[in-house]
Structure formats: structure tokens, C-alpha cells
Amino acid sequence: MGSCSAGRPGWHWACVLSYLGRSKDQSQLGAPPSAMVSKPLSNKHPGLWKMLTVAMCVALVGCLQAQELRGHVSIVLLGATGDLAKKYLWQGLFQLYLDEVGKDHSFSFHGAALTAPEQGWKLMAKALESLSCPSDMAPSHCAELKDQFLRLSQYRQLKTAEDYRTLSKDIEAQVKQEDLREAGRIFYFSVPPFAYVDIARNINSSCRPGPGAWLRVVFEKPFGHDHLSAQQLATELGSFFQEEEMYRVDHYLGKQAVAQILPFRDQNRKALDGLWNRHHVERVEIIMKETVDAEGRISFYEEYGVIRDVLQNHLTEILMLVAMELPLNVSSSAAVLQHKLEAFRGLRGLNKGSAVVGQYQAYSAQARRELQKPEGFHSLTPTFAGVLVHVDSLRWEGVPFTLMSGKALDERVGYVRVLFKNQAFCIQHERHWAPEQSPCLPRQIIFHIGHGELSHPAILVSRNLFRPSLPAHSWAEVQERPGLRVLGRPLSDFYAYSPLRERDAYSILLSHIFHGRKESFITTENLLASWDFWTPLLDSLAHEVPRLYPGGADTGCLLDLELNGGHLSFSQQQPEQLVPGPGSAPKPSDFQVLRARYRESPLISAWPEELISRLASDIEASALQAVQHFGKFHLALSGGSSPIALFQQLAMGHYSFPWAHTHLWLVDERCVPLSDPDSNFQGLQAHLLQHIRLPYYNIHPMPVHLHQRLCAEEDQGAQTYAGEISALVANSSFDLVLLGMGTDGHTASLFPQSPTGLDGEQLVVLTQSPFRPHQRMSLSLPLINRAKKVAVLVMGRTKRDITMLVSRVGQEPRKWPISGVLPSSGQLVWYMDYEAFLG
């Protein structure tokens, strides 16, 4: 750089003039005399003059570019004396310095915390003692660079806005004193999230760089506790920083095997194009197991639990990398982030049946001790979770993605496993199969994140799939290790590759931050999409009692999982007590299906699973009977949460159901577009229709969305639906109507204190609900009472009070619309679980 900055302006003009072809008339452009080159040389050797001019111009342009790029970067590590900084961040910053030293930027590193300067410097200096260089670097060179890094690092106390103003002035003074250009500033928030807003305010008001320099602020998870808190935090931070200035870190995106998923898919497009889809993939597993427990972190774990700690962020981000459509240019941050957001939008909503949770046995005792809870305290916080995810896209329809993580398990390992279907059928015994490449061997691709028996990051592809392509400068084939097995198969079954040089995730992410590569970070849109996906499940599990497990190898098969249609469950029944004792609580099997009468009609009561099974069987029996006698079965279904388990049971457990001859109608609908998550039809589509073969012309959604309007009286949607029923259903008498009962006694969308739909000639009516969305369309009570059979499904402890009340009242539909349900010539049957019936 010395020769470039030697102040010879004449050469600038000579290059420009030569380029413009005007070197003979330099005086017109005001070129200084020093720009003139002696005439004898140019006159005698014009070719040589041109060559020298071009060479000097090329050299000068390179020098000018270097001067243009050269700039000073200040990196401020907030929370510089904390655990994360000690373990990873200072080493990551040192690695960044090693990678960039001698290139186009100069650096200063500012460790910051609330601690007083003297004590803070001591703590920071202790953290800096453990800095290390790559193993292939000469010790003397390492010592030299480490000494440089320490000289560039300083500690400062940052508490007030004035402290931040002082820091900004010091950076400006340093840049001016060393005759540098400020390129930008990085602020790394290694502090608790409750401190984010105050720090952000101070940076924005007092420590932004000047014009022409960039600002990058880096945040560590957790980014909220649910969708609402994440939205609030995002809004607050968005008032101080632009989206392009914010980098939310998920350190799993920096792990080498994870960071290679998209490049691997890109580099192997030709081989994967025909395989990476529902026709060939049997299932995908995304796993992170830990042997350690939560001791020492109980206060954090009580607030977040394993789903918020691991699945909502780390495993979901990996899921996106596997499931998203591959951009044409995987190097484009914008394209990657956009495709990731589109993949989020394709995730099917989760429900209680999508997940199982567990808790290691010692957890509650640890919580009592660390949080000083009373002796009787028992936590419901899960330390283990398995979640079944489906992606509603043409590529992945029907493919189960299983996300699993837990503490106090039998091994520490993380991996992504894409298991392919195997259509081969080998006649000969396995001992005669072609070694390692037989088509009958399992076909899989594994992104091995780390630990486990393999112990290092790796990408493994079954030899009976294809030989993968990986970047030769950074990945190399793993040497054979006899006896080593990966997920039950010998290493020799795979083409296995590992990084030539292992790098910590934080060093990779810090490099990406420095270079402004945003594809490895969480945007606000993607963050909120993730919380939007996970929050309903978290809410539904808030009071779920997790399965207890001993921990470690003693857990045995207690946490083994089983996929059953759209459900995930434990393979083994929960032992009632891991330690036997007197006074055991009654088990579900101790109760038989209870048959009784309720409001003078038949009542069937059982535990939820058995009740749903019985109702599904009764509906199937009604369908078979109707088809046998009349050739078709008209079934009207209610929406809401209670029927979801029934829909899933019908879809996955009743293969003799005469769907081809069944017409499906809706009992009621919210006045929202049919694609809206609040739509009853959307729930029916998600949990039933997409899993069965029903002729599309036998599906009858309510016409709530006509002429780009919702439930407008003048569109006559209710009359249209009534006309369709009259035309297709004999005597407008459904074979079976499924109803529910609200805690206020409403049924369908017929509500107390509202006469609409309770009597009269109208078959279908528009009503007003006290709950959002307020506008509804509903079958009327007279139409419901024409049905040959009405089944009322009532589930959950919250229905106990209304169940008791309705059992004692007469037929008063204006107060309790459900009390008006009494088929004129058909049958009414009540289906109640024990919690609704007995409390």
C-alpha cells in the first residue's frame, strides 16, 4: 500500500488522458506539469510508451481500488465478560482477525459491559488468555498475531447514553488520527433480551457511524417467548434499526454440516432433482440429543422449555434448509431468505396430536432446589419433545418430518437424516448382496452435525444412491474406520465427507456478519413466521403433563416414537408409576364405555381416545347403511377444535368408509375466505379432505365469499346453500349431522339471545357470534331437526358446567340453542368424554 499512497497525482492524469486518447492536449484538462512524460521516449518508441502507460494505469487502478476499499471497522462486544463471550465470541473475533488481517480493513475491538473498568478489564483479559490459532499455523506467527489482536482490544464500561457518545467520539478520533476511512461498526448483543431495547436506543441516538459507513447489530436468541412477545420485541428494535442492519444469530446455521445443506443441494442438483420429493423420500429426521441435564439453567428452562430452546429455532431453521425450494442462485441472500419464507408459509398447522413431551425424573427436584419452590412443586416444563411436521406442497405432501430434542438422553449427537423409499426386492440372502452398493440396503443422506460415534461434522450419502460432489478445497472423503457404524450402518455403506478444517459456528457467522451475508441469519419476517407456526402448539401443551423418564441409558424404550397418520405418539404405554406406591390413580382401562341417557336421549361416555373411536365407528356404520339403501350418504360436519381428532380418525383408521358415495356439508362457517386458517372448511381440508378420496363434486363448502365480499345479504349466499341442499338432499334431511356444544350453550353458529335460525322456514341463515369473527353462516335449527341422526360431541373439562346446566333445563333454545336440538323423526345421541360428563 505504501507505493499507492505516495502522492503522485501526475500519474492519475496520465492514465485518464491516455484512456481518453487526449494525451497530446493535456493542458486543456488542466493537467499538472508533473504529468508530462519526456517527448524523446514517446516520439521514438510510441508502442513502448503505450505499453508503459497501460501497465502504470492497471497498477494505479489496483492501488486506487485498494485505497477505496480500505476502511476501519470497530467491533463492540456487549456482554464481553459473560459465558458466551468467554467460550465462543472472543475466539470467533480472533479468528475473524486472522482471516482478514492484511487485507482491506483495519480493526479495533471494544469489549463492553456494565462492570467497572478495572474489574471489567481483568475479566476480559482472562477470557483473552485462552485464544488459539489454527493447528497449521506456526507458533511464532500465532504469537505475533495474538499480540496484535490484544493491542487492538480494549475494555470500556457502557451504561449511559453519555458512555455511548464517548465511544463514538473515540472511534472517530482514532479514524481521523490514523488517516483512515470508517467502513462500519458491529455491535454484538451478548446480553439478556430485556436489555436489548435500552442498548438499541443508546446506539441509535449516540453511537451510529457517520455517512457512508454501515452499521450491523447482532442479536442472540431468545427472540421472544411466543408470537406476541416476538412481535413486540421486533417492533421495538425496528424503531431503532433498519432490517438490513439487524443480524439475528442462530448458531446452528453456522455449524459446518448445516451450512453445507443448501450448497450440497445446489452442487448435486442433477442427482437430487428426481429424488428430493414425496415420490422418493420416506421421511426426514432432524435430531439433537444431549446427555447433560438442565441443572444450573433451571430458571431459563422453566420459562422456555425444550421446544422454545431448540425446536422453534435450531431445528426449524434446519427444516427450512431441507424443505425449501432451491433458488437458482444459492449465493443470493435475498433469494435464499425469500424461499425460506415461502417454505414457512407451506407448513401445516400443528395440533396437540402432532407432539409428545417428556421430562427427566430429577428435573422437578432440581427446580425446587434452584428456584426455592415448596416440596410439593412439580413442574410441567418439557425437557424432551418430539414433533411431527408436514409441509403442504407438491414436493413434500405426505412426507413426515420428525423434529426431536431432549436433555439427559443416552448420547450427545445431532444430525439430519433423509431416508429414501426402497422399491428394490432382493431375492438372495443378504450375505450374497453386492457389498455396500446393493439396491436393497437403506438409501439415505445424512448431514451429521457433530458428536456421536463419528464425533465430527460430516455428510454421508449411501453408495447405492450416487457419489456426491462437494467443494474439494474444503471437504475431503473420510478414511475408512473399521467397526464404526452410523445410525446402524457401517461407515463403508456411505460416501462420507468431512471438512478439511473444523471451524466453530460462531467464527463462521462472525465472518458472514463482517461480509454482510444475511442468508445465515433470521429476518423479522422469518422469525414471526416461525413463532406463528409454533405458538398454537405451545399454548395447547401448556398444561400437558410430560412423560417422566429416568435419563441416560436407563430410559430404554420409554421415549421411542411412532408415526400414526397425522399423529405422533410414544410407542410404549406410559407406566402409571415409575416407582410403585399405594393409592394408585385409576387408569383409563379401569373404565368401560359408559352407556346412559342425557336429556332423555342416548349418551355414550368414555375417555377421549375411546370416545372418538366409537363415534367414528358409528358414523361409518351409518354411512354404510345409507349407501346400501339409498346409494349415497349426506354428512354435515361442524367446525372447531373438538372434531379434529374425529376427522383424523376417520381419515387414518376407517378404510372401508364409502367416501366415493359420501356428500360432505358444513353445519356452519365463519365469514372468512375458505383459505383462511379460521375457516371451518380449511380445518376440514387440513385434517380430513386431503387424506381421503372424495369426489370433488361431493364437497359442499358454504358460499360465504361471493363477489369478493364476505356474507353480504345481497349476495344471497345462505339462500344459495339452502337451494343446493334442497336439490341434492332428499326432503332436506341429512343422514347425519355432527354438532358440538359451546360453554354458553350455543351449537352450530346459533347463539343465545339471538332468535336468528331458531325457528321459521329458512334452512340456512346468517348469524352474529359474540366471538371473532362475528359474522357466521349456519344451518338453522329446523333444518338440523330434520336429520335422520344428530350426534353431539362434547369434550373437555371446560364443558362440565354447561353440561350440568343443560341436563336440567327444558327446551329453551333462545337461552341455550343446544336445548332445541331434538330431531322430529330421527335420533339424537350425545357423545361426552369423562371430563365433560363427570368433571
Instruction: Determine the Cα angle at 814 with ends 808 and 818, to 5°.
Output: 55
CB 669 within 8 A of CB 679: yes
Q: What region does 387 belong to: left with phi over 0, alpha with psi -120 to 50, or beta?
A: beta
Instruction: State the maximum Cα–Cα separation within the chain, in Å, rounded to a whole number.
Output: 121
Grid cell, residue 226, equals 411466543
- The whole-angstrom separation of Cα 22 and Cα 18 is 6
128's grid cell: 483473552
Pairing between β-strand 413-420 and β-strand 281-289 as defined by DSSP bridges: antiparallel
CB 412 within 8 A of CB 379: no
Residue for cell digits 434448509? 321
Eight-state DSSP code of residue 217: E
Q: Which residues pair with 216 in a beta bridge?
A: 186
Q: Which residues are CB-contacts of 730 (< 8 A; sequence separation ≥ 6)? A: 630
Pull the grid cell for residue 272.
437430487
Can you give the length of the chain in residues? 839
- Positive or negative, the CA dihedral 499, 501, 506, 511 is negative
Name the residue with cell 441509535.
Answer: 204
Query: Residue 792 and residue 811: Cα distance in Å, rounded?
Result: 16
Grid cell 373437555 — which residue?
796
User: Which pairing describes strands 475-477 and 494-499: parallel, antiparallel, or unpaired?
Assistant: antiparallel
Give backbone dihedrals phi and psi of 646, rounded to 5 degrees, phi first: -65, -45
Give the torsion through C-alpha atoms of 452, 453, 459, 460, to 10 deg.
Answer: -130
12 catalytic per annotation? no
At CA 562, angle to CA 541 and CA 680, rounded to 5?
Answer: 50
Strands 789-794 and 668-670, by their bridges, are: unpaired
Catalytic residue (one of 72, 251, 314, 705): 314
Query: Per the structure block, which three cell numbers stand in for 645?
Result: 381428532
CA atoms within 13 A on the CB side of 818: 26
Q: Which amino acid is at 228?
A: L
CA of residue 756 relative to chain centroid, distance? 43
Are 791 and 831 in contact, with CB atoms under 8 Å apart?
yes
Q: What DSSP assignment string belongs to 426-493?
A: --S-GGGSPTTT-TTS-EEEEEEEEETTT-S-EEEEETTT------TTTEEEPPP-TT-EETTEEGGG
Q: Which residue type, as a one-letter code, is found at position 336?
A: V
Strand-strand pairing, 485-486 and 489-490: antiparallel
Torsion sign (Cα): 555, 556, 558, 561: positive
Nearest to 830 by CA among 752, 739, 734, 736: 739
Residue written as grid cell 482472562? 126
Please list the active-site residues. 314
